[in-house]
Structure formats: C-alpha cells, structure tokens
Amino acid sequence: MAAAALFVLRVSVAATLVVDGPAHWAEAMSFWAFPGCLFLAVCLCLGFLTPYCAVLACIIELGVLFATGGHNAFEGIISVVHSGVVAVLGPGSFSLDGRIFGRRILTVPLRK
C-alpha cells in the first residue's frame, strides 16, 4: 500500500513539474525548459535516480515560486514540499531504483 502511495506521489510531482516548470520560465529558458522538465518528470515517474531528480524538481519549483513573485504561493509551496518529501522518502519498490539497488528496509532496534 505504501509503495503505491509513493508511486502516486512521484507521478504528482512529475505532473506538477511539467505543468509549472516551463510555464513561468518561458522567457528565461525558452528552449531547454520543457525538455529538461519533461526528462526529470519521466525519471520521476519511472523512479530512476529519484532523490536527485526530486531535489532538482524542488529547486525548479522554488525558482518558479520566486520568479512569479509569490503568485499562487500556496500551490508553489505545496509542490516544493511534495518534491522534498519524494527526495527524502526515496523511490519505493515500484521503481527502477528499487530494481537496480534493491529494497532497503529500515529496522529500528528495540530499547533495553
């Protein structure tokens, strides 16, 4: 169940990146904005190099937030938070990273 939630979160971050990223930066990065954001979105959807792509998505969304001067600040902050959460949580088991590097299970030792 948690792996499916991570997949949905990755896809929502990717969709936000494709929609918001190049839309507000058309003047600054006219040619490379959309292909770059699309590449990051595909990597996020597939779960390839997820922490790095999520950090880049977070930086892009922060740039969009500052470039727009706080227009739709709530949506911008939520997208930055979602990108940060994906960077911290990782890709999950439904991802290429999970296939390549294996699943990591965190075990917390009991107190004595």
Can you tell me the distance from the alpha carbon of 112 to that of 97, in angstroms, rounded to the nearest whole number? 35
pTM above 0.95, yes or no: no
Per residue in 6-24, pLDDT tens?
Answer: 888 889 988 888 887 666 6
pLDDT in tens, 76-100: 888 889 999 998 888 777 788 778 8
Nearest to 34 by CA among 54, 51, 17, 56: 17
Give per-residue pLDDT as tens, 22-72.
666 555 556 677 788 889 999 999 989 989 999 999 998 888 788 777 677
